[in-house]
Structure 1
Amino acid sequence: MVMHLKSCCCGCSLKTGTVIIGVLSGIGALCGLIMSILGASVGTGELQKEFLKELEKQKGITLDQAEYEEAVKHLEATSGNKTLSALFICLAIVYGIHLIFDILMVFGASAERPRMIKPWIVFAIMALVVQSILSFVNIIFHFTSGAAMVGVLGLVMLAVGIALAVYFILVVNSFHTELLSNNFQNKI
């Protein structure tokens, strides 16, 4: 059985908390969508140039302009440029879906329509599981690559992120359950 909350943080109602969570989540999804679109369109070439500059610093190699341009062309031809663009496009799609569910939830909470809130709950649970797994893999990578401090920081951020996400899901689910019980009582 799922825990049922009576109010959101700071004593505000579940409805108000759900709307606030939806608006903040929507802002985050919109920012992620914009960043993903920018990453897909311009970020991949810039990442390759940054890679070459970092290589010059670490290896002490100095490239003249012709060598630099040739190296950039080689990177564009052989690297995961298309893979990275595809990743950004996939992220943009996920953030777009996320934004749609956030908008549905805000309107559903305002109109007290539980059917418009349920998709957000399902999506949020799925996203929590996937993000937790990917973050954990990323943390393990940092620990094994010698960046233990980054790994510890990532672990703390993961714990806080999971706690907040679970609380937000509980608030929205409690409001959803409250709406369903009110609708059921009104039919009797």
Structure 2
Amino acid sequence: MGLEMINCCGFSLKHGTIIIGVVQSIFSFMFLVLAAAYAEHPNELIDISDISVGPSLTALRIALSIIAIVSALECVFSILLIFGAETNRPKLLLPWLISNPVVLLAYILLTLMAIIHHTRSALFIIGHLTLGFFATFIASFKFLCVWSFYKHLKSLNF
């Protein structure tokens, strides 16, 4: 039978999926705007009084541009998720179902890289592990809700 849910936090799978899509589209849009704004002016994020910061400024600009692009895609996929859930079209849920595990895996790998890079600070490691655990738990729960709704729609031959 697998991991199938009957409801999502007290809501039906359909309404839970729509709520997930709305919340994620709002957060994705906020990250898009912030990352794009800081990619244009990265000196607002770090102090550039030191000349040796120059090369890292370019790396920061590239990283913020990548975050803006991924956020834009996630916003589009979240809107497709909302529309697909509202109209009972499981194929519109697939971009979200494919992209979110990829983004979660990238997040986990980057968190592990940050922990390895900053092995001297125990507080940093504990904070990243705690935040990473909660982010992974929430993302997995969201994925399980949407996946259950997708399987439900497929079982109804939509």
Instruction: Give the paired residue count.
Output: 158
- For residue 4 of structure 1, what is the amino acid of its counterpart? E
The answer to whether residue 33 in structure 2 is matched with residue 30 in structure 1 is no
Partners of 1:7 and 1:46 lie apart in 2 by: 44
Q: How far 1:148 moved relative to its partner?
A: 0.7
CA deviation digits over 1:75-130, x for unaligned, max 9? 57x42333321221111111100100000000100111101011101101111111
1:136 matched to 2:135? The reply is no
**From 47, 62, 66, the counterpart of 1:90:** 66
Matched, 1:107 2:86: no
Q: Is residue 175 from structure 1 mapped to residue 141 from structure 2 by the alignment?
A: no
Q: CA RMSD in A?
A: 1.8
Q: Which has the higher helix share?
A: 1
> Normalising by structure 1, what TM-score?
0.78
1:117 aligns with 2:93: yes
The answer (yes or no) to whether the contact 2:38–2:44 under 8 Å persists in 1 is no
Rounded Cα–Cα distance in structure 1 between residues aligned with 2:45 and 2:143: 36
TM-score (norm 2): 0.91
- Are 2:13 and 1:14 aligned? yes
Alpha-carbon separation, structure 1, partners of 2:99 and 2:33: 20
Contact 2:28–2:75 under 8 Å retained in 1: yes
Report deviation, 1:2: 4.3
Determine the C-alpha separation between the residues in 2 that align with 1:47 and 1:179: 45
Contact 2:38–2:45 (Cα < 8 Å) also in 1: no
Unaligned runs of 5+ in 1: 53-70
Partner Cα distance (2:139, 2:62) in 1: 27
Unaligned runs of 5+ in 2: none
2:115·2:128 contact (CA, 8 Å) conserved in 1? yes
| In structure 2, C-alpha distance between the alignment counterparts of 1:80 and 1:156, rounded to whole Å | 27
SS at match of 1:183: coil
Matches within 5 A, 1:48-59: 48=46, 50-52=47-49
